[in-house]
Structure 1
Amino acid sequence: MNDMQNLEALPDSARRVALLLQERGHASPVVMLPETGKTSAEAAAGLGCSVAQIAKSILFRRRDDDAPVLVIASGVNRVDEKKVAARVGELARADAKFVREKTGYAIGGVCPIGHASQPVTLIDEDLLALDSLWAAAGHPHAVFNLTPQDLVALTGAPVVDVALREPA
């Protein structure tokens, strides 16, 4: 199957991501998982990788101006909202309607790039310790492979400590 046939087989939102990745010179294809990749554990199981390698995209709403705030975190980490708020301002929950409106993607398929409105983006520093990552590609079953360096280059986002660290 050639690239065009592969693209035609993708759902619309995943096809948009595949085309955007091609435009940006990213060679890895969008892969469709047989089962959902809505959670990091489900995606990792479907890909045969560690949960840490799942670059999950979590969207918040900045309380002051309703700006979308995207945190791209390792699948094993919980995001420390206080750390994020200290960098970008007070946060509020983003419901499914807000996520769809601001990103153009459904929850579970939010890609690190190609949003309807440009989010304030932060990348979890723990991702940089890994060789290979998998990120959502616009659909709950769609993912693509990239390196941490690719993620930084594609998003232009700062790499910061966003993980909730449990006291020892």
Structure 2
Amino acid sequence: MRYRYTVSLTPPPPADAEQQLGYVYSEFELNLPPPWQPLAHEQDNAVAFRSPDDDAALIVSVDFIASGADDLQALAEQVIRDRLQALPTDGLGPWQTLQQQIRPHRSGAALEMSFAAELPRERTALYLGYATPRKLLHFMMAGGPDRAAAIALFNATVPHFKPRLP
């Protein structure tokens, strides 16, 4: 009985043929699948991306703070208020807050902040953030007028974001 085998010196193609856009920072990792494209951003503490196919933009940023654990709840509440107030209206009327929440992160190392807001029939904004005694980490996505599509894209993109806490 003979055994036949072959050896290929060409490595097999990666299991995931789609090339992901990887970004590693000291405070987070982000691996975005196509069609996300990097954008130039004027702030040193932020990275920005655009998905033209989805009419969406994403900004991930970090603000380093000197805070104590005692005032994280108040700080998280202020962050959400400030982020909601900073949403651009372009004269189209007020944003409507659909949901907002602050809760302890499952690791216990941070407070997790989130909100969803919309400028009716114009834009959707979705936010996920973390407040720790030394930093605020922000993951903000802006999408088109289709709320369901924006939420689906947000939910599909968040798993590619790996914050480093605390």
TM-score (norm 2): 0.34
Q: Does 1 or 2 have the higher relative contact order (CA < 8 Å, sep 6+)?
A: 1
Rg larger for: 2
Structure having the higher strand fraction is 2
Q: TM-score, normalised by structure 1?
A: 0.34
Higher helix share goes to which structure? 1
